[in-house]
Amino acid sequence: MYGEVAFCLAGLKPVVLIDLPPALEKQYVATVLDPWIQAFNGAHRQQQQQWQRLQRRLLTPEMHGMMVTFLLGPHTPTAVSNQLQHTSIDSEQALASLLDYPGHLPANAQQLQTMLEVAYFNKANHQLLTTFACQQPETPLVQRHFDQYATVMKSFGLDIGLVIRSPI
């Protein structure tokens, strides 16, 4: 999850999805997120936008009915914040867009055959930073997305790598 938060801090991702088992998520929010948000926002009071968290119930096919936490950073566009607060998230495509994932999960059995797993990792220690799915025709879009992330994160001293593979 640290990669997702780092990407949000760098202004690349508009939001971070925190999806843990309910009891663990409640503890994580209380002991990690809320104290961190309070400390960050207190140290950066002059910023117009600050970190905030929203809890929402997802209506997507993969996560239907699940209550999750979204972490919104200081770079989260107002339109994204408004969308999260006032619009149902009812499709995988809408969720992928909110999370800045350039690919999508299979929509049918045929797309299972063309699905690829995508991972961005820290080259220094091979630690996973983020993972998502895409379809084979989306790989050029994934490459452009990765190139943008790699350029920005390099400016912060983080050299990232890309792995795209078939799960089959």
Instruction: Spell out the per-residue pLDDT of the chain, length 168, in tens.
Output: 678 888 988 889 999 888 888 889 889 888 888 887 888 777 666 666 678 888 888 888 777 778 888 888 888 888 888 888 888 888 888 888 888 999 988 888 888 899 999 999 999 999 999 999 999 999 999 999 999 999 999 999 999 999 999 988
Q: Specify burial of residue 82 (Cβ count, 10 A radius: 0-12, 13-18, 19+).
A: exposed
Q: With contact defined as beta carbons under 8 Å apart, do 94 and 15 qualify?
A: no
In the block, residue with structure tokens 């809890």: 55
pLDDT at 158: 94
Structure tokens at 146: 């990765």
Quick one: pLDDT at residue 140? 97
Q: Which residue has the tokens 């690919």?
A: 103
- Residue 63 contacts residue 89 (beta carbons within 8 Å): no
Looking at residue 1, its pLDDT comes to 64
Domain ranges of the chain: 1-100, 101-168
Q: Which residues contact 123 (CB under 8 A, 6 or more apart)?
A: 159, 160, 161
Nearest alpha carbon to residue 67 among 23, 33, 11, 109 = 23
Whole-angstrom distance between the N-terminal and C-terminal Cα of the chain?
Answer: 25
Q: Which amino acid is at 102?
A: P
Q: What is the pLDDT of residue 122?
A: 96
